[in-house]
Amino acid sequence: MYIVMIASECAPVSKVGGLADVVDGLSRELSNKGHKVEVILPYYDCMKHPAVKDLQGNSVQVSVPCNGKEILSTVHRAAAHDNECFFIKPQSPERYFDRGVYYGKGDDDERFTVFSLSAIEFLLATGRRPDIIHCHDWQTAVIPVLLKNKYKHSALSETKTCYTIHNIWHQGKTTEKILKMVGIEPSAAAVKDNMTDDSDRAYINLMKGGIAYSDVVTTVSPKYAEETMTNQMGEGMQATLSKYSGKYTGIINGVDYDSWSPASDRHIPFNYDADTIEDKYKNKEYLRKKLSMKQDFKPIVSVVGRLDMQKGVHLIRHSLLYALNNGMQFILLGSSPDTEIDLYFHHLKSYLKDNHDCHICLGHDEELAHLIYAGADMILIPSLFEPCGLTQMIAMRYGTVPVVRSTGGLSDTVFDAEVSAKPAAERNGFSFDDFSYDAVSLALKRASMVWHEKPYTFREIMLTGMKTDYSWMASADKYISLYNKVSGKW
């Protein structure tokens, strides 16, 4: 099968969050399984150029009809992390992707719409006829809209579209101007119906259009698919998703085990696997030494992640103090663009500077993240919502037991050691339901008690996580089945 991924991010070249990991990991796994995969990305000035091979080598110019005139987009062909990529640079005075950042400019709607339109024109101009175009999040949601409207009689009319929602909070709410820009009449009855924002009818919603016009819609875990169809968590998209529930499904993301495996990880001093799990404790000792923490008979609870509302930042603050007061050590590695949150943790860090049961690292540190996964006993993820979540799956690979709030992908991947409908052999962590101090404290207390009083049971929980396969293998197969179903070819 011939699949073209069109997205605003792809690791390691242009990564802001989980979207980048999915585009990279899924594309590589599909190629490994023998499919032809090409990835189309914006040519950002700030992307990681060393991660791209031969970027300047091969390029074509494509003429793109936009806003009643023609603009030229240059498309560079290059390889990134084994993916065959095309980087699009529109040559317009706006210099859409020369902004020094990936997102956050007032004209993001225009930037990514011009990118999406250029991607379609590139496919047409170069005679590419993929079986599937796979689009991601609001940034490329206009592609299915264009293919089913303006381009419905083009050479891409047979191509099917798959649209993946990575986070329902960002929907691409914009004005009719964006549709007019790409040659779609917003007042046409069907377009109006399919794209008017349900919460504010003065706006156009790009994600809603992507859902309505795609042949199949996915999100990144089965539980999140359910949650996004509810009034509580649908963020205004619940009616649309419920209407299209027949073509909407959740597929859990995979972990890239080339980067995340304790047996081969070059960032950790002592490699280990399920058979040599004792060596995990050498990493624990090393981690404590590196962070000037006390060597003591205590479990280390860790947090690795963005410090924001989604991640349950106030529960993280509470848990840190709860852990220290209840016989546990705590390591926090996190960053926050929110100055108030950042300041709070800086104050907490200086308040706790003499406490050798605790270490707070504020910022992004890839190497330390690997070491924490290897050296900690538990990872805490008390998210308000979590479309999929990677850290729990990475941690489990390293024998680090997740303590999570049961929501979205966390609920699909973490099964409580003591209270779960799953058989004992599948129980791999600790979970709680309420988004409250009491609930997270109780979960930490239970995990700590098992660690102290039932070390054999704790070891079994660790091993269950280590042995479970969260690689892209199975998830890529699920995407292939969907592609097959919609293309009707295989």
Residues forming contacts to ligand ADP in the complex (CB under 6 A) are 17-18, 304-306, 333-335, 364-366, 369, 389-391
Instruction: Kindly state the smallest distance separating residue 190's Cβ from ligand ADP, in Å.
Output: 34
Q: Is the dihedral of CA 285, 291, 295, 297 positive or negative?
A: negative
CA 219 – CA 184 distance, rounded (Å): 27
Distance of CA 422 to the CA centre of its chain: 26
Nearer to ligand ADP, 72 or 474 (CB): 474
Residue nearest to ligand ADP (CB): 18
Nearer to ligand ADP, 94 or 342 (CB): 342
Report the helix count and the strand count for the chain, using DSSP H and E. 17, 17
Nearer to ligand ADP, 88 or 331 (CB): 331
Instruction: Kindly state the smallest distance separating residue 117's Cβ from ligand ADP, in Å.
Output: 27
Instruction: Kindly state the smallest distance separating residue 42's Cβ from ligand ADP, in Å.
Output: 19
Nearer to ligand ADP, 282 or 306 (CB): 306
Instruction: Kindly state the smallest distance separating residue 347's Cβ from ligand ADP, in Å.
Output: 18
- Going by C-alpha positions, the residue among 226, 244, 227, 177 that lies closest to residue 206 is 177
Nearer to ligand ADP, 79 or 309 (CB): 309
Nearer to ligand ADP, 118 or 428 (CB): 428
**3-state DSSP assignment of residue 179:** helix
CA 481 – CA 111 distance, rounded (Å): 33
CA 147 – CA 145 distance, rounded (Å): 6
Nearer to ligand ADP, 18 or 299 (CB): 18
Tokens of 400: 């680090």
Tokens of 463: 């091993």
Instruction: Kindly state the smallest distance separating residue 118's Cβ from ligand ADP, in Å.
Output: 27
Instruction: Kindly state the smallest distance separating residue 20's Cβ from ligand ADP, in Å.
Output: 9
- Going by C-alpha positions, the residue among 391, 329, 322, 388 that lies closest to residue 355 is 329
Nearer to ligand ADP, 304 or 331 (CB): 304
- Decide if 23 contacts 164 (C-beta within 8 A): no
- Going by C-alpha positions, the residue among 130, 186, 139, 128 that lies closest to residue 41 is 139
- Going by C-alpha positions, the residue among 97, 118, 100, 119 that lies closest to residue 108 is 97
Helix axes 455-467, 437-453, angle to 10 degrees: 110
Instruction: Kindly state the smallest distance separating residue 335's Cβ from ligand ADP, in Å.
Output: 5
- Decide if 354 contacts 376 (C-beta within 8 A): no
Instruction: Kindly state the smallest distance separating residue 262's Cβ from ligand ADP, in Å.
Output: 14
Tally of CB atoms within 10 A around 431: 25
Nearer to ligand ADP, 304 or 396 (CB): 304
Nearer to ligand ADP, 169 or 490 (CB): 169
CA distances from 283 to 272, 298, 375, 399, 490 (A): 10, 15, 5, 12, 48
CA distances from 59 to 86, 222, 293, 482 (A): 9, 40, 53, 33
Instruction: Kindly state the smallest distance separating residue 11's Cβ from ligand ADP, in Å.
Output: 9
Instruction: Kindly state the smallest distance separating residue 376's Cβ from ligand ADP, in Å.
Output: 12
Instruction: Kindly state the smallest distance separating residue 220's Cβ from ligand ADP, in Å.
Output: 9
Task: List alpha helices for 244-302, DSSP H.
Answer: 280-290
- Decide if 154 contacts 25 (C-beta within 8 A): no
Nearer to ligand ADP, 277 or 384 (CB): 384
Please, is 296 exposed, middle or buried when counting C-beta atoms within 10 Å of its C-beta (0-12, 13-18, 19+)? Answer: exposed
